[in-house]
Structure 1
Amino acid sequence: MNQEILRVANEIGVWLAAAPVVILTAIQAIIYTRLARKTARELNIPDEKCDRAFKTGLLTAIGPVIAIFIVMVGMMSVIGGPISWLRLSIIGSAPTELTAAKTGADALGVSFGGADYDLNALATGWWTMAVNGAGWLVFAGLFTHKLEGIRNKVGGGDVKWLAVLSSAAMLGVFGYLNSGDIKNGGGGLIAVIAGAISMVVVIKLTEKLPKLKEYALGIAMLVGMLAAVIFG
């Protein structure tokens, strides 16, 4: 790959253009956390429970973050650090962003990161990623506040039914996302099987070690990823 491409992709101007979006994302996370704390106090939820929930979420995020980081390093070597940093800070779906960048190269008939990958291909990849993610961001801004009302309407106000409905929706989403890996086999299938088995084992262990329960999902993710690397 032409090193001139990376020089342009990593220029200070690109870093400065990407930084505000990343900083805004960090500010949003801080505001959301403070709002959650404030709401918890209004509901008389002890700070200890909030701290435990925050720690659980932090540990659970380790698995997905590792996968995203690995893909991000690969993207940085082709499209530059600033854009990779920007895209994954607001979207967080490494495979989607990588596919969009490759689609931009394919549209020009060049290989992603190959010898024929030039500035036009780089710019096309950047635009492809931006356009690809715009729909999600627009939908989130316009309709997110209405989703809770729709969920309550579908559930009829029944708390137990809402819990079942939400769980079923999550199972359906993750089942669909994993269906391709199960069908194609290989490392993806191994990760799904190893992760499922480790989750069952960890849940069994939590009967004797209750504190382990908050780490169950994170452990299952790490075991699945490790098994895919070793046996895939």
Structure 2
Amino acid sequence: MNAPALTGSPVLWLAVLGVFSVIVVQSVVYLRAARRAADSAEITRGELTTALRTGAVSAIGPSAAVVFIALTLLTVFGTPAVLVRIGLIGSASFETLAAQTAAGAVGVELGGPGYDDTVFALVLFTMSAGGAAWMVTTLVFTPLLRRTDRKVRALNPAVMAIAPSAGMIGAFCYLGLAETQKSTGHLVAFTAGAGVMLALHALNARLRTRWIKEWSLGISMVAALAVAAAAT
């Protein structure tokens, strides 16, 4: 693999420091906001701690997958660029697609002949521009959605109690069903993961054991991978 000298630039390391500083500050701000809003939402401190712990445990699987893919990108993009992009977006597939598109536009293969500082700069700019679009969209639409949320709650509070959950279920079903079309292994993994998740929630409803709900996502992911590996 051919890695341009620019991939280890001190300027990029400064960008890494800035990005992770913002992430830490955001995490602290969100945590404090959650604690302040807990009382008005009738959420106890114990429930809030459980929710945070569940989120942390559930993030291990997806985060590990991103880390493994990021390790394979180090030889092409260098450590600073990988940390900056994955630290902001967390979608290795999007970053790779954007990089391949940018390099292909100038007739160069990532890591191949002609992959110099100029092409690397173009690749990094393309990945950054794509990520910035997501952030700008969030900044623009969040206030609009907040006003819409207030108006709908004033008319019928039950709608906003159901709509977020319905939207999340629809989004995950759409993404999951799209993966099942790729191969038999994908279909087996999706089916096994869904089955294990339903079984765990049924077991939790019967036993009322907190740890089952907290670890259900991680267990389902491991089970889905194991079943898919055994079936294929």
Classify the TM-score, shorter chain.
0.7 to 0.9
- Flag structure 1 segments of 5+ consecutive residues without an equivalent: none
Tell whether 2:207 aligns with 1:213: no
Shift in CA distance, 123/144, structure 1 to aligned 2, threshold 3 Å: same
Deviation larger for 129-138 or 168-177:
168-177
Tell whether 2:102 aligns with 1:104: yes
Give the corresponding residue for 1:134: 132
For 2:226 and 2:155, locate their aligned partners in 1 and report how far apart those are by CA, in whole Å: 42
Q: Secondary structure at the match of 1:13?
A: helix
For 1:169 and 1:29, locate their aligned partners in 2 and report how far apart those are by CA, in whole Å: 24
Counterpart residue type for residue 53 of structure 1: A
Q: Is the 8 A contact 2:102 2:122 kept in 1?
A: yes
For 1:111 and 1:76, locate their aligned partners in 2 and report how far apart those are by CA, in whole Å: 16
The alpha carbon displacement at 1:158 in A equals 3.1
Deviation per residue, 1:41-100 (Å, 9 max, x gap)? 455633211111110111111121111112211222211111111112221222111211
The alpha carbon displacement at 1:135 in A equals 1.4
- Give me the TM-score of the superposition, normalised by structure 1: 0.87
Larger RCO, structures 1/2 (Cα 8 Å, 6+ apart): 2
Deviation per residue, 1:189-227 (Å, 9 max, x gap)? 233122111101211221225221122223223333444
For 1:82 and 1:228, locate their aligned partners in 2 and report how far apart those are by CA, in whole Å: 34
- Flag structure 2 segments of 5+ consecutive residues without an equivalent: none
Q: How does 1:150-161 map to 2 (within 5 A)?
A: 150-153=148-151, 157-161=155-159
Give the corresponding residue for 1:59: 57
Q: Is the 8 A contact 1:104 1:124 kept in 2?
A: yes
- Among 166, 169, 172, the residue aligned to 2:167: 169
Percent identity between matched residues is 33
For 1:96 and 1:153, locate their aligned partners in 2 and report how far apart those are by CA, in whole Å: 35
Q: Is the 8 A contact 2:15 2:84 kept in 1?
A: no
Give the corresponding residue for 1:193: 191
Q: Is the 8 A contact 1:155 1:165 kept in 2?
A: no
Shift in CA distance, 155/42, structure 1 to aligned 2, threshold 3 Å: closer
Give the corresponding residue for 2:69: 71
Q: Secondary structure at the match of 2:63?
A: helix
The alpha carbon displacement at 1:168 in A equals 2.2
Deviation larger for 88-97 or 53-62:
88-97
Aligned length in residues: 230
Q: Secondary structure at the match of 1:184?
A: coil
Shift in CA distance, 229/110, structure 1 to aligned 2, threshold 3 Å: farther
Deviation larger for 57-66 or 214-223:
214-223
Q: Secondary structure at the match of 2:34?
A: helix
Tell whether 2:84 aligns with 1:124: no
Counterpart residue type for residue 117 of structure 2: L
Q: Secondary structure at the match of 1:52?
A: helix
Deviation larger for 209-218 or 81-90:
209-218
4+ aligned runs moved over 6 Å, structure 1: none
Shift in CA distance, 199/106, structure 1 to aligned 2, threshold 3 Å: same
Counterpart residue type for residue 2 of structure 2: N
